[in-house]
């Protein structure tokens, strides 16, 4: 069901910023972030013989939608308009729970989902969002390279076909007061986005009593002091303007946000067989472009936040180990709930291999 009230429109925009990214290209400061999203949409392309209907929270003009529009154009061109992607941006089809229902009833063929939505399709994928698992983008990329055949199979078993990964990037703690120790975290009034078992498990393990809030209530709650800390990507921290109400960022990534575009197996089977290989090839190229763009946008956002006066809290090795120990407890707490021990061990083994290739020690967050 589509709702056009100002509050719901705001929610769609901030959710899109939080999960899928608003372009920073050409932006001269925080107030320029939404300029591209407000730009007029391009004229719709000619209708393809078979169009795959895909919902997304990403607004028109975002980095996400610009690259997906390029992918759609390439697919239509290479298949002589036999296949096309029809996107429904800006959350006009509803939140991820609503979109999943629409897919199941045949109103949509697929969607761009965050880790929460993907977890409804294949819960074990959330292993890639375990807290303090990854330390840099190279590690994430290396583990994906080895594990993706397994993840794709799990998505397929859930009734879907993967078109490509569209990840959010690293998530950090932003706070009023410095957060350098687990003891400081326990005494912090931190926001919780409900419905995410991974975030809930982390905060429970840390002994934190979080404050559950809708995304639209976070800014007001930061202003009134109801909460004093949030977790978010750098890009979303700017887009949501939360960076104006915090003073510190802890320089240890909490997690790496998962995201992907998937379509039902039934919808994929309707793509003419002679075009399936070409569509997959184009998806690989454009989703890789999207990954690089997302990394760049988050890096630029980090610089903007620092220039705005938000101070970086750098942890000592002992402090970092204390946080990572919480991550290890969460890993085990979720075994049997989201994934099995064998999958967790395989991901950790691939991470160790990746770190050895980088010349890094293999102890720490993967244990």
Cβ-contact 83, 49 below 8 angstroms? yes
Integer Cα distance of 159 and 266 in angstroms: 8
Integer Cα distance of 310 and 245 in angstroms: 9
Question: Would residue 364 count as lying in a domain?
Answer: no
Give the pLDDT of residue 267.
Answer: 98
One domain, residues 206 and 279: no
Question: Would residue 1 count as lying in a domain?
Answer: no
One domain, residues 241 and 146: no
Give the pLDDT of residue 43.
Answer: 63
Integer Cα distance of 150 and 268 in angstroms: 19
Question: Would residue 185 count as lying in a domain?
Answer: yes
Give the pLDDT of residue 358.
Answer: 86
| CATH classification at residue 288 | 3.40.190.170
One domain, residues 203 and 156: no
Question: Would residue 212 count as lying in a domain?
Answer: yes
One domain, residues 221 and 247: yes
One domain, residues 39 and 179: no
Question: Would residue 16 count as lying in a domain?
Answer: yes
Q: Which residues contact 129 (CB under 8 A, 6 or more apart)?
A: 115, 198, 255, 256, 257, 258
Integer Cα distance of 291 and 285 in angstroms: 10
DSSP state letter for 2: -
Integer Cα distance of 214 and 111 in angstroms: 22
Residue 51 CB neighbour total at 10 angstroms: 17
DSSP state letter for 49: S
One domain, residues 80 and 179: no
Question: Would residue 59 count as lying in a domain?
Answer: yes
One domain, residues 155 and 198: no
One domain, residues 140 and 33: yes
Question: Would residue 175 count as lying in a domain?
Answer: yes
Cβ-contact 351, 143 below 8 angstroms? yes
Question: Would residue 232 count as lying in a domain?
Answer: yes
For the chain, what is the total number of helices (H) and then of strands (E)? 13, 12
Give the pLDDT of residue 362.
Answer: 60
One domain, residues 203 and 154: no
One domain, residues 159 and 93: yes
Q: Which residues contact 205 (CB under 8 A, 6 or more apart)?
A: 326, 329, 330, 333
Integer Cα distance of 223 and 193 in angstroms: 18
Note down the domain range covering 119.
Answer: 6-168+258-300
Give the pLDDT of residue 96.
Answer: 87
Give the pLDDT of residue 63.
Answer: 87
Please report, in tens digits, the pLDDT of each residue of the chain (367 residues total).
Answer: 334 444 444 444 444 444 444 433 333 344 334 334 444 445 667 789 999 999 998 888 888 999 999 999 999 999 999 999 999 998 899 888 899 999 999 999 999 998 989 999 999 999 999 999 999 999 999 999 999 999 999 999 999 999 999 988 999 999 999 999 999 999 999 998 777 899 999 999 999 999 988 777 899 999 999 999 999 999 889 888 999 999 999 999 999 999 999 999 999 999 999 999 999 999 999 999 999 999 999 999 999 999 999 999 999 999 999 999 999 999 999 999 999 999 999 999 999 999 999 887 665 444 4
One domain, residues 52 and 149: yes
Give the pLDDT of residue 314.
Answer: 97
Q: Which of 283, 300, 317 represents a domain boundary (last residue)?
A: 300
Number of domains in the chain: 2
**CA nearest 250: which of 177, 186, 332, 333?**
177
DSSP state letter for 89: -
Give the pLDDT of residue 44.
Answer: 63
One domain, residues 119 and 247: no
Give the pLDDT of residue 216.
Answer: 72
């Amino acid at each position: 069901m589509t709702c056009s009230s100002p509050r719901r429109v705001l929610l769609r925009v901030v959710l899109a910023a939080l999960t899928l990214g608003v372009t920073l290209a050409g932006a001269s400061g925080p107030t320029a972030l939404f300029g591209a999203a407000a730009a007029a949409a391009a004229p719709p392309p000619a209708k393809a013989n078979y169009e795959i209907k895909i919902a997304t929270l990403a607004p028109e003009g975002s980095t996400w939608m610009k690259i997906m529009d390029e992918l759609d154009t390439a697919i239509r061109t290479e298949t002589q308009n036999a296949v096309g992607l029809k996107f429904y941006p800006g959350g006009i089809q509803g939140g991820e729970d609503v979109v999943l229902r629409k897919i199941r009833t045949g109103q949509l063929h697929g969607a761009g989902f965050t880790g929460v939505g993907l977890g409804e399709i294949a819960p074990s994928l959330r292993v890639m969002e375990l807290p303090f698992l990854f330390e840099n983008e190279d590690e994430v990329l290396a583990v994906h390279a080895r594990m993706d055949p397994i993840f794709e199979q799990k998505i397929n078993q859930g009734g879907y076909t993967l078109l490509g990964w569209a990840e959010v990037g690293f998530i950090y703690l932003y706070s009023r007061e410095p957060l350098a120790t687990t003891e400081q975290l326990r005494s912090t009034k931190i926001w919780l986005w409900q419905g995410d078992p991974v975030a809930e498990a982390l905060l429970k393990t840390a002994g934190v009593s979080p404050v559950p809030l809708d995304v639209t209530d976070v800014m007001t709650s930061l202003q009134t002091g109801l909460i004093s800390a949030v977790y978010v990507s750098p890009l979303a921290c700017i887009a949501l303007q939360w960076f104006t109400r915090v003073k510190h960022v802890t320089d240890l990534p909490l997690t790496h946000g998962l995201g992907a575009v998937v379509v039902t197996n039934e919808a994929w089977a309707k793509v003419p067989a002679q075009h399936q290989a070409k569509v997959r090839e184009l998806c690989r190229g454009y989703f890789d472009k999207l990954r690089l763009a997302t990394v760049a946008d988050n890096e630029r956002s980090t610089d903007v936040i620092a220039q705005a006066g938000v101070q970086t809290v750098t942890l000592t090795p002992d402090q970092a180990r204390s946080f990572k120990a919480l991550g290890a407890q969460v890993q085990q707490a979720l075994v049997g709930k989201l994934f099995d021990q064998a999958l967790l061990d395989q991901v950790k083994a691939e991470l160790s291999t990746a770190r050895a290739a980088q010349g890094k020690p293999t102890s720490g967050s993967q244990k």
